[in-house]
Amino acid sequence: MSRTVRLIETGFDPAEELRRFTAGTGEVGAIVSFTGVARGLAKDGAPLQALVLEAYRSVTLRSMEAIAADAHARFAVTASLVLHRAGRILPGEPIVLVATAAPHRRAAFDAADYLMDRLKSEAVFWKREEGVSGAVWIEPTTDDAAALTRWGRTPQEAACPE
């Protein structure tokens, strides 16, 4: 079983990262990946100049590793990759890559979905959007809370990382 978690402050090539992940998975029946990219527009439609993700490296990495360990305990996956950026990210640049490998597709899909839902709400990052009007801190939404509920988690658990 292979579990890789990386927190980086530079850009990355999702296709190359996925190629390396796939090459190391061995004989599996399914590989699922998700790449999140920085939006160019805020929720109100205003243009964004950047997304800034602040992290306290050891705490953030520990929260990401705990989420990945939980995914492996919960789903029949043989390998996973969680790659997340911190720092200033321009619109269109990749923020996060999650990939999972499993003997069967359902486990790979579910594990990737689970990882993203928990990373979005529970990984320890402080997020802000920078636009022409200034900066705005981003808080979890009701959709984020609903996503956690699907997995039997509560927003209170997200506020208190393990």
pLDDT (mean) for 130-139: 91
pTM over 0.85: yes
Dig out the tokens for 3 from the structure. 């579990």
Tally of CB atoms within 10 A around 80: 27
In CATH, what number is assigned to the domain containing residue 74? 3.90.1170.40
φ/ψ of residue 27, rounded to 5: -85, 95
- The distance from CA 131 to its chain's CA centroid, rounded to whole angstroms, is 23
Based on the structure, what is the number of domains in the chain? Answer: 1
pLDDT of residue 155: 65
Please report, to the nearest 10 degrees, the dihedral formed by the alpha carbons of residues 122, 125, 129, 130 taken in order. 180
21/149: higher pLDDT? 21
Q: Are 100 and 78 in contact (CB under 8 A)?
A: no
User: Is the pLDDT assigned to residue 162 strictly greater than 60?
Assistant: no
pLDDT tens-digit map of 105-116 = 999 999 999 999
Identify the DSSP state of 38. -
Rounded CA separation 77/79 (Å): 6
The domain of 55 spans 2-159
pLDDT tens-digit map of 12-70 = 999 999 999 999 898 899 999 999 999 999 888 899 999 999 999 999 999 999 999 99
